[in-house]
């Protein structure tokens, strides 16, 4: 089913309000397996609204109009749709009763003739009752097109959709099921290139790539009658994706670190640390505590993290971490040596299972001959210490710091998986 959402209201076009209803309805329809192909905003003008309804009815199976159900003269959605369909407006008994009760219990409000419009719906419609307002909505099918009218205020529209519209529509459509795969260590352009045959020939399930700061996600979606059928289709597609290799012959399954919209790299590592009963600490320079703060974001973080160090200057690195100052001056702050010593000493001083050292150049200026975006990351365990150097180019300071933490968490993740 192809759906179209029409937001009615001049205040939307003038920017006085934001059209959040279209986003909400698109999300709800996606869950039902209904595809939204068009979103339109139109002012409170009968001629223009008639033209939009006519266009929508020719290209969409489901036409949803939001707003314009109130009592004033510029609330003309139901009247205009009734005119287009050649139908009369009639009073809904339940909506009329609610209108009577409202004014009977609120003598401070004056009831006027135009209030009655809120209890009207197009003849032949299935009413959608409004438990948080007075304007009744409705659903009507004419010549193979289903028309829906909904109130504009989100506080009225959302309950009406959840209580009445979704149950009406869900009985006729397969549901949409999705799975999000999270990758680190590959850019969006390369991932899309590697998966080009699957993307170019996709039908159901579908693949949608999304680039985030320092990582890429793939949303796999399928329409199915039940979750078991959906899982089978999504499993098959995931296996095809993970069987691919990067342009450097790295299996994609090695770059997959997690699932879900909110399952960040920090969350994955935190869960692994708890599962394996391991502890972690860090000494941070360019990231200024961002790595440690990311761990502390999760409830129960004290079980894996007792504390750490933020050592920006070379003097504090020497003093707080007990690293000989002359050695730091000899090798430089931005170096493998410093990253490894920061990781090693932070681990020893807190008796943690893992120590991370982060040092580098956030930018925009260079440091010690290293360009902005140069990062050294050390990782220390009870058995060994090593470090990596990464170049994070063309980024803002905040992005360099964020991506540096992603690399650090990934080092810990890989170590935990090998443990």
Q: Is the pLDDT reported for residue 248 higher than 60?
A: yes
In Å, the largest CA–CA distance within the chain is: 90
Sign of the Cα pseudo-torsion (334, 337, 340, 346, in order): negative
What local confidence, expressed as pLDDT, does residue 112 receive?
A: 76
Confidence grade of residue 46 (pLDDT, cut at 50, 70, 90): very high
Query: In whole angstroms, what is the distance from residue 241 CA to residue 220 CA?
Result: 10
Tell me what pLDDT residue 173 has.
60
- pLDDT per position as a tens digit, 349-368: 999 999 999 999 999 999 99
**What pLDDT score was predicted for residue 225?**
84
Evaluate whether 152 touches 21 at the Cβ level (below 8 Å). yes
CA torsion, ordered 345, 347, 348, 352, to nearest 10 deg? 170
Report d(CA 409, CA 379) in Å as an integer: 10
C-alpha angle with apex 349: 347 to 350, nearest 5 degrees? 70
> pLDDT-derived band of residue 226, with 50, 70 and 90 as boundaries?
confident
- Residue position matching structure tokens 């529509």: 169
Q: Identify any residues that bridge with 77 across adjacent strands, giving them in sequence order.
A: none
Helix 336-350 to helix 314-321 angle, to the nearest 10 degrees?
30
Residues linked to residue 356 through DSSP beta bridges, in sequence order: 282, 379
Q: At CB < 8 A and 24+ separation, what contacts does 104-108 make?
A: none
For 390-412, b where at least 16 C-beta lie within 10 A, e where not — what string? bebeebeeebbbbbbbbbbbbbb
Q: What pLDDT score was predicted for residue 172?
A: 56
Count of positions (residues) in the chain: 419
Instruction: Work out the angle at residue 138's Cα, subtended by the Cα atoms of residues 4 and 71, and round it to the nearest 5 degrees.
Output: 100
Q: Is 381 helix (H, G, I), strand (E, B) or coil?
A: coil
């Amino acid at each position: 089913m192809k759906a179209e959402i029409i937001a009615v209201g001049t205040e939307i076009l003038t920017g006085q309000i934001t059209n959040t209803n279209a986003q909400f309805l698109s999300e709800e329809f996606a869950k039902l397996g209904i595809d939204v192909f068009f979103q339109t905003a139109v002012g409170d003008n009968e001629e223009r609204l008639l033209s939009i309804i006519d266009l929508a009815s020719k290209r969409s199976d489901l036409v949803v109009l939001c707003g314009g159900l109130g009592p004033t003269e510029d609330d003309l959605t139901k009247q205009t749709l009734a005119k287009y369909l050649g139908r009369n407006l009639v009073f809904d008994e339940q909506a009329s009763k609610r209108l009577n009760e409202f004014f009977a219990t609120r003598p401070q409000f004056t009831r006027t003739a135009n209030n009655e419009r809120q209890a009207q719906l197009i003849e032949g419609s299935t009413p959608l009752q409004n438990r948080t307002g007075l304007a009744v909505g409705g659903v009507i099918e004419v010549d193979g097109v289903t028309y829906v009218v909904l109130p504009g205020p989100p506080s009225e529209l959302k309950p009406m959709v959840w209580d009445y519209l979704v149950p009406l529509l869900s009985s006729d459509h397969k549901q949409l099921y999705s799975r999000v795969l999270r990758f680190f260590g590959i850019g969006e352009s390369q991932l899309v290139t590697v998966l080009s045959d699957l993307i170019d020939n996709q039908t159901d399930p579908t693949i949608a790539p999304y680039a985030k700061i320092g990582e890429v996600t793939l949303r796999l979606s399928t329409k199915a009658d039940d979750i078991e059928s959906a899982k089978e289709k999504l499993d098959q597609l995931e296996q095809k994706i993970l069987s691919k290799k990067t342009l450097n012959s790295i299996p994609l399954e090695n770059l997959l670190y997690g699932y879900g919209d909110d399952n960040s790299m920090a969350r994955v590592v935190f869960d692994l640390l708890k599962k394996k009963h391991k502890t972690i600490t860090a000494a941070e320079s360019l990231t200024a505590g961002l790595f440690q703060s990311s761990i502390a974001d999760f409830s129960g973080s004290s079980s894996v993290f007792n504390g750490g160090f933020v050592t920006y200057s070379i003097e504090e690195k020497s003093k707080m971490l007990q690293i000989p100052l002359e050695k730091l001056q000899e090798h430089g702050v931005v170096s493998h040596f410093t990253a490894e010593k920061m990781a090693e000493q932070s681990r020893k001083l807190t008796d943690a299972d893992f120590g991370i050292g982060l040092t580098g150049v956030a930018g925009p200026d260079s440091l010690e001959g290293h360009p902005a975006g140069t990062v050294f990351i050390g990782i220390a365990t009870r058995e060994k210490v090593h470090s990596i150097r990464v170049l994070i180019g063309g980024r803002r300071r905040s992005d360099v710091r964020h991506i540096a933490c992603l690399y650090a968490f990934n080092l810990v993740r890989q170590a935990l998986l090998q443990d």
